[in-house]
A and B are shown apart, each in its own frame.
Chain A
Amino acid sequence: MTFEMLKLAAASPEILVLAGACAILMVDVFKSQQGEGRALTYWLSLLVLLVGGWMTFSGFGENVGPALNGHFVKDALGDLLKIFIYLTAFTTFVYSRDYLQDRGLLKGEFFVLGLFAVLGMLVMVSAGSFLMLFLGLELLSLPLYAMVALDRDSGVATEAAMKYFVMGAIASGMLLYGMSMLYGATGSLDLLRVSEAVHRVMAGKAGQEQLVLIFGTIFIVVGVAFKLGAVPFHMWVPDVYQGSPTAVTLFLGTAPKLAAFAMLIRLLVGTLEPLVGQWQQMLAILAVLSMAIGNVVAISQTNLKRMLGYSTIAHVGFLLLGVLAGNPQGYGAALFYAITYSLMALGSFGMILLLSRVGFEADRIEDFKGLNDRSPWFAAMMAILMFSMAGVPPFVGFWAKWEVLRAVVNTGQMWIAIVAVGFSVIGAWYYLRVIWYMYFEKPYDTAPLVPAVDMGVMMSANGLALFYLGVFPSSLMAVCLMVWGVR
């Protein structure tokens, strides 16, 4: 084994983020910056994400094959997801700064843990073996547990962190158990080799080995469903979303979804494709239950973060529809859904941050009352976000739904499409309620809304991006399909 064979260059953005995170840790420790809003840490973190994103972008789609002895895969799918992981993490940091500052939570830990979590996501997305996948997953999860408990004096935050940790541990356990079964049946940790072995076993006669594979698949699906927050493995989602400081909710509600989606794809589609008949049915159950529970329970929520937590569950159900279509069109649709969802979630939690100020969390739906009187512009942005989440054209959420519906309709699973649109009507109600409060009610306080410049610009860009992508969805759709080789 020579050093060249490792092809370290394929992982250069990851190496940069690792080095950057370590350096920022040191800078933060040795440069006291309490007074100036941790400007150095903040800007350095943004710079690391920016450079990492640029490196990934400039090497987009260069397929260098398995690197690091097959543990690391660099392909177009991974690059696309990574670019959006950088983007969402970047936006999260911009949105979070003032919120954390106001609450005395603006510590270097937030940014360092965030960067390590980003590194974990990048590793997950590029995982070429079970080992790497698990490593990435844990590298993502552990910083997140700590971030949820960032506000250590808050009871709810601690409770949320505890729940998240226990549930996350169970999920990891399930996943590991499934992986070990697959390892037992195939004798390899390398996803490519596992895939070959699975093909061989499934092509042969039914027997013990196939049974083990199927059981392994079940545990893998359960583990992934935990991470995605699909019903019935969703119990942690509302509590963690509500309990965490909003900035952390924003972080864990966006980019990790992309990473979890990558895990789902790498395992089920990349490795266990011959078992599609099995996992398709499992995903169908997960999807329908998620859309049902997510949408129905969200109706009765009064806390916006909790409502968005349930809405996440419903969106995960929709996303799974694309995957269970079981063809590249469907995977492309699910990819588009995951990306656009992360943009929508980013904006929605970002709006909560934008409205909040010292001593005021703005996380109840009522807090949005009369926003149109206080700031027509940001009310319009929030309206775009909500209509987009509800799937009303001409916003991008519509196209996300449209594409997954098309995928399931074209594969003849008409009933599931009808169930899906039915629940999306139920879902429309609670998004409409936010718009109702913003536009049809009088505000509690008429203080004008003046966000920091960078935040205001970012928020506007976020909302307008959803509008732009709603009118011109073509290019992003094409890219999402291209990574699957569909043109």
Chain B
Amino acid sequence: MSLPLLSLVIWLPIFGAVAVLSLGEHRPVMVRRVAFGIAAATFILSLPLFTGFDSTSYAMQFVEDAPWIPTFGIRYSLGVDGISAPLILLTTLSTILVVLAGWESIQYRVSQYMAAFLVMEGVMNGAFAAMDAILFYVFWEGMLIPMFLIIGIWGGPRRIYATIKFFLYTFLGSVFMLVALIYLGYLTGSFNILKIQALDHLGLTAQVLIFIAFMLAFAVKVPMWPVHTWLPDAHVEAPTGGSVILAAIMLKMGGYGFLRLSLPITPDGSQLLSGLMIALSLIAVVYIGFVALVQQDMKKLIAYSSISHMGFVTLGTFAAFTALSMGSHNAAVLGVEGGVVQMVSHGFISGAMFLCVGVLYDRVHSRLISDYGGVANTMPIFATLMVLFAMANSGLPGTSGFVGEFMVILGAFQANVWYAFWAATSLILGAAYTLWMVKRVVFGPIGNDHVAALSDINNREFVILGVLALFVLLLGLWPAPLVDMMRESVSHLVDQIGHSKL
């Protein structure tokens, strides 16, 4: 019997958070070191999820199962497949970077800050690993508490408005999912997600209603247009670390939810509403791309760019239905795979972009584009990295941003040329808003005295951004390990959604 790895990556950070809290507020240096140690240990523990992963099987791996609430048949069952394993790795990696990013900029209540992020990490890992619907829901909702506090305590001037909006929006979305899960549990006689997925017969009305209940939860998290409005507020007001976790991981929860619950459980309902979902995704890609173009605030710009990029995830996911109806299994797989790659890649890129803004904000205390100009003159190393991330954000070949978008566009192209056409405009818009921002912030003559007084990034910041740059390039040049890892799982998923339950 090997180590219960999934339990460890869930509970080590959570108990670690308790340890960090118990150190108190008067030993910030110690707190930071311990928090870093726990985050690093969790990351190392999560590595076997990649190295020991059997990519020839779609079955759940690293499975753990124990009774939790026997009265209602709720079990503590965990497991990962090729879709969730990369997301757990993304989570454990991001948490290290976030702990490092808050090293100096957070001076107020350091132990609570670090503990909140560690709890967050454990809970997010739990949501990705949960194989029991109610366990999933507990993690899914539990996630709101640390993020609510992170934005509310360490956020910007309008943090209270932003954090309450964030909480209520996501809470509203999730509660209907709870009702749907209870109903499915009643039909199945079990809350095991695999058993619920294997439910043989489910009427179309029930499927559509369940799909809508799920959609409310996941669309808010992704976020899809028009329920995206909490995101720019939350991102702008959150501290850098909060923005990074929001963008890199929490948004992926929505995409993951669609893949894990909506599609396999309600294939016919999803099929019926896939047109709507594709339309919403394309609106997100195009319209939100335009909205990003006019932003004055860097964080807001990246937030909108996140929404636009997440549109690719949902597009790839739901274009699979069109592709399947035209008999192209491969195109469907390609689209879904592209969606997952896009999720991982967006995790790196948007996290990096927010960290870049964080670096500037720590020095100048402004997020407005107009307060900068010519940063490259005083911060050459930083400028190099930021330009790299900006290129990745606009989908330059050779970076990870290109791979996911290209796969989605390819998949969508075989489904319907127009999907691909509208999705491809993002490559133009993305380049426009990102590069224009970079031009105004990084290049040109030195804008003002603040910029003139800037010092380049220190070693700590260099490590954070350097690691992300490495992954952005690695995934861009050699995406094969990631794609291979998920191939069987995605292919199985496409089989599942092609199998009608009527």
Contact = CB atoms under 8 A, between A and B. Distances in A.
Interface string A466-487: 0000000110011001000000
A392 interface: yes
B175 A393 contact: no
Interface stretch (B139-147, B264-272, B322-330): B139-147
B179 A428 contact: no
A421 B144 CA distance: 17
A134 interface: no
A376 interface: yes
B202 to A, nearest CB: 15
Interface stretch (B53-61, B163-171, B443-451): B163-171
A282 B442 CA distance: 68
B141 A393 contact: yes
Interface in B165-195: 167-168, 171-172, 175-176, 178-179, 182-183, 185-186
A409 B175 contact: no
A406 B72 CA distance: 10
Interface stretch (A25-33, A231-239, A432-440): A432-440
B179 A440 contact: no
B110 to A, nearest CB: 13
A405 interface: yes
Nearest to B144: A392
B153 interface: yes
> Could you say which of B109, B142, B167, B175 has the most chain A C-beta atoms within 10 Å of its C-beta?
B175
Nearest to A476: B71
A183 interface: no
A369 to B, nearest CB: 12
B137 interface: yes
B112 interface: yes
A432 B164 contact: yes
Contact of B145 (A392, A417, A418, A440): A392
A77 to B, nearest CB: 17
A405 B178 contact: yes
Main secondary structure, interface of A, reads helix
Contacts of A155: none
B149 interface: yes
B152 A402 contact: no
Contacts of B68: 474
Contacts of A409: 179, 182-183, 186
B69 interface: yes
Given A393-B138, A428-B168, A429-B164, A414 B145 contact: no
A448 to B, nearest CB: 13
Contact of B152 (A422, A439, A474, A477): A439
Given A393-B137, A428-B168, A432-B164, A439 B175 contact: no
B148 interface: yes
A410 B142 contact: no
Contacts of A410: 182, 186
B435 interface: no
B347 to A, nearest CB: 25
Contacts of A177: none
B168 A429 contact: yes
B52 interface: no
A387 interface: yes
B41 interface: no
Contacts of B171: 392, 425, 428
Interface in A279-319: none
Contact of A406 (B109, B112, B160, B182): B182
B70 interface: yes
A483 to B, nearest CB: 13
B186 A432 contact: no
Interface in A374-402: 376, 387, 392-394, 398, 402
Interface in B118-160: 134, 137-138, 141-142, 144-145, 148-149, 152-153, 159-160
A424 interface: yes
A394 B68 CA distance: 13
Given A406-B72, A473-B69, A440 B175 contact: no
Contacts of B144: 392
Given A439-B152, A440-B160, A425 B175 contact: yes
Given A406-B182, A425-B171, A439 B145 contact: no
A402 B182 contact: yes
B167 A439 contact: no
Nearest to B155: A440
Contacts of A398: 138, 141
Given A440-B153, A481-B71, A432 B141 contact: no
Given A392-B142, A393-B138, A477-B72, A436 B164 contact: yes
B159 A440 contact: yes
Interface string B71-113: 1100000000000000000000000000000000000010010
Contact of A477 (B71, B141, B172, B185): B71
Contact of B178 (A421, A435, A439, A440): A421
Contacts of A432: 148, 164, 167-168
Nearest to B21: A376
A428 B168 CA distance: 7
> Could you say which of A402, A417, A429, A473 has the most chain B C-beta atoms within 10 Å of its C-beta?
A402
Contacts of A417: 179, 182
Contacts of A478: 70-71
A191 to B, nearest CB: 29
Contacts of A440: 152-153, 159-160, 163
A76 to B, nearest CB: 16
Nearest to B185: A406
B152 A436 contact: yes
A392 B172 CA distance: 12
Contact of B179 (A387, A418, A435): A418
Nearest to B112: A376
A376 B168 CA distance: 24
Contacts of A418: 176, 179
B172 A425 contact: yes
Contacts of A424: 175
A408 to B, nearest CB: 9
A424 B179 CA distance: 13
Contacts of B168: 425, 428-429, 432
B166 to A, nearest CB: 11
Contacts of B112: 372, 376
Interface string A165-179: 000000000000000
Contacts of A481: 71
A394 B138 contact: yes
A310 to B, nearest CB: 18
Contacts of B183: 409, 414
A378 to B, nearest CB: 14
Nearest to A417: B179
B176 A421 contact: yes
A417 B213 CA distance: 13
Given A402-B178, A425-B172, 20 more contacts: A392-B144, A393-B138, A393-B142, A394-B138, A398-B138, A402-B182, A409-B186, A410-B186, A417-B179, A417-B182, A421-B176, A421-B178, A424-B175, A428-B168, A435-B148, A436-B160, A436-B164, A440-B152, A440-B159, A474-B69
8 contacts: A398-B138, A398-B141, A406-B72, A409-B183, A410-B186, A421-B176, A432-B168, A440-B152
9 nearest interchain CB pairs? A421-B175, A393-B138, A474-B69, A440-B152, A425-B172, A409-B182, A478-B71, A393-B141, A410-B186
